[in-house]
Amino acid sequence: MQKAGTKRKVRSKQVQRAPGSEASMKPAPETVRPTTGAKLANKAALITGGDSGIGRAVAVAFAQQGCDVAIAYLNEHADARETARLVEAHGRTCVLIPGDLAERSHCQQVVRTAVKELGRLHILVNNAGVHTPQKTLGAISEKQLMHTFAVNVFACFHLAQEALKSMRRGASIINTTSVTAYRGSAELIDYAASKGALVSFTRSLSAALNKRGIRVNAVAPGPVWTPLIPSSFDAKKVAQFGSDAPMERVGQPAEIAPCYVFLASEDASYITGQVLHPNGGEIVNG
């Protein structure tokens, strides 16, 4: 039986009479993969924005699957320590790396620290993001625009550039984009634009890394209950958040995290350049 994660190219000129027989196929299709237990056993991941919300849920889900993690965050130290406690409860290592990802030099240092402390790097999750609602386009200052793209887009470039120095065949990069990249947002114009950029970044980088055997995918969550919501919107909007989704409710970080586990694992070995859409049922055709 072929081992999971190996690549087998079919170079057969075999022809059969319809409807065909699998028993006669040479080589035989791989229809069953051996169960390996933990999906991310002995792997190491760097997760940005890992102190809370989706990032925390991903860190814990990875740890449950046998993965050591490093989490990068700004300055939410209490939240970060709680994430570490949750990860370590599963017997895995959690490295905390605070600092501003808007700075290229810090992005580089984050990766170097993760590699040094964990000894390896198999998975990069570009999850950290910011948004600041504004009523009009004119209300978005140059400072806000540059900061949104520095954290949401430029940091992903800088982190990936540094991470690829340590990543080998079989590694995975997962970017967090957003449903707003596909349908837009009247009050989050710069944020939606930055998330749209991540969709294109995902598709382009996946093409660039195909021959290296490194997969690049993304997750585009819909409304999710994270600290970003009550810290960005007024009380009325917070109370209604998620009610316009087809499922008529907000999503929970734990409902989003399995997408990242799947994309990081061998279960997704034939998937690259794609976006998963855990968004409560909204059809985005993207």
Active centre residues (catalytic): 191
Who contacts 122 (Cβ-Cβ below 8 Å, separation ≥6)? 40, 43, 44, 45, 167, 170, 171, 172, 264
Instruction: Name the β-bridge partners of 97.
Output: 72
Number of residues written out for the chain? 286
Helix (H) or strand (E) holding 94: strand 94-98
267 alpha carbon, distance to own chain's centre: 15
Hey, how many other C-beta atoms are within 10 angstroms of the C-beta on 223?
A: 21
Q: Which of 201, 152, 211, 172 is nearest to 39 (CA)?
A: 172
Helix (H) or strand (E) holding 14: none
Sign of the C-alpha dihedral, residues 18, 19, 20, 21?
A: negative
Hey, how many other C-beta atoms are within 10 angstroms of the C-beta on 173?
A: 27
Q: ∠ CA 168-101-189 to the nearest 5 degrees? A: 110
Residue 251 DSSP symbol: B
- Quote the CA–CA distance of 165 and 168 in Å, as a whole number: 8
